């Protein structure tokens, strides 16, 4: 299981510094949507330059103009880029093709998708499917990650989970067998980010060991 650190609502130097502090405990580093919209491709480039050995995720949340946007972030150094599952199917398909051409990856963000959309998206066998409760849903409507409603994805597809994940909520997510756990403010907003990251790492590694035994 990979631990992905989401960097949002901060400057590029702050993002690089935060990733450096917790680097031993995380696998993937995400340039958050707000980092991208605030500073452009420079954030992705800075993260890939500072961490060439890590997987860099560009949370592009692409909804249109897929080829241009995906080429942009792959060229800036991203290894994975996100597209909204709620986007037109042709947009998601174009993201898959662009990733194939670059030898890179697509994460399909299932935020606010219908069951019909999720079923149709299953055709993209190589994608990572991100179960996601948005920041706004968490902050204003008490939204929590719901694992039901995504039946059929487990096992056959790589799953990521995102949205207010903490050390406390982590155990409830393990049933869906995620490949990627995306954590933002539980690390970046912690009084002691290193400690928060180390504890999450330990929790994730314990799962691996349980699965092996």
The helix or strand, by DSSP H or E, that contains position 83, with its residue range, turns out to be strand 80-84
| Closer by beta carbon to a copy of itself, 12 or else 22 | 12
Contact of 29 with 54, CB cutoff 8 Å: yes
Residue partners of 151: CB distance under 8 A and separation at least 6: none
Q: Which stretch binds a copy of itself (CB under 8 A): 16-24, 46-54, 64-72, 147-155?
A: 64-72
Tell which one of 4, 8, 107, 158 touches a copy of itself (CB under 8 A): 8
Q: Does 63 bind a copy of itself (CB under 8 A)?
A: yes
Q: How far is the CB of 202 from a copy of itself (least distance, A)?
A: 29
Site for a copy of itself in 74-133 (CB under 8 A): 84, 86-88, 90-91, 93-94, 111-112, 114
Tell which one of 68, 100, 101, 144 touches a copy of itself (CB under 8 A): 68
Q: How far is the CB of 132 from a copy of itself (least distance, A)?
A: 8
What is the helix, strand, coil percentage profile of the chain, to 5? 45, 20, 35
| Closer by beta carbon to a copy of itself, 25 or else 70 | 70
| Closer by beta carbon to a copy of itself, 42 or else 203 | 42
Which of these, 90, 67, 87, 78, lies nearest to 41 by C-alpha position?
Answer: 78
**How many other C-beta atoms can be found within 10 angstroms of the C-beta atom of residue 182?**
24
**Where do runs of H (alpha helix) occur along 40-143?**
42-50, 66-75, 89-102, 115-121, 135-141
Q: Which stretch binds a copy of itself (CB under 8 A): 14-22, 49-57, 61-69, 189-197?
A: 61-69
Tell which one of 61, 124, 157, 158 touches a copy of itself (CB under 8 A): 61
3-state SS string over 27-64?
CEEEECHHHHHHHCCHHHHHHHHHCCCCEEEEEEEECC
Catalog residues that contact a copy of itself under the rule CB under 8 A.
8-9, 33-34, 36-42, 60-61, 63-69, 72-73, 84, 86-88, 90-91, 93-94, 111-112, 114, 134-137, 140-141
């Amino acid at each position: 299981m990979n631990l992905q650190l989401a960097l949002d609502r901060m400057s590029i130097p702050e993002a690089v510094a935060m990733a450096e502090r917790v680097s031993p405990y995380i696998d993937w580093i995400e340039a958050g949507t707000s980092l991208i919209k605030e500073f452009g491709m420079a954030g992705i480039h800075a993260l890939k330059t500072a961490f060439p050995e890590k997987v860099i995720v560009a949370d592009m949340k692409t909804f249109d103009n897929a080829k241009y946007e995906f080429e942009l972030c792959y060229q800036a150094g991203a290894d994975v880029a996100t597209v909204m599952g709620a986007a037109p199917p042709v947009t998601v398909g174009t993201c898959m093709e662009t990733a194939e051409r670059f030898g890179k990856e697509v994460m399909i963000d299932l935020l606010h998708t219908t069951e019909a959309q999720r079923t149709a998206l299953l055709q993209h066998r190589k994608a990572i499917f991100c179960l996601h409760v948005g920041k706004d849903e968490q902050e204003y409507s008490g939204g929590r990650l719901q694992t039901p409603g995504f039946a059929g994805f487990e096992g056959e597809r790589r799953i990521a989970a995102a949205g207010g994940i903490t050390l406390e909520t982590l155990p409830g997510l393990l049933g869906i067998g995620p490949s990627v756990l995306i954590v933002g403010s539980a690390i970046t907003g912690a009084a002691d980010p290193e400690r928060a990251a180390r504890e999450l790492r330990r929790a994730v590694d314990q799962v691996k060991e349980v699965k092996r035994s």
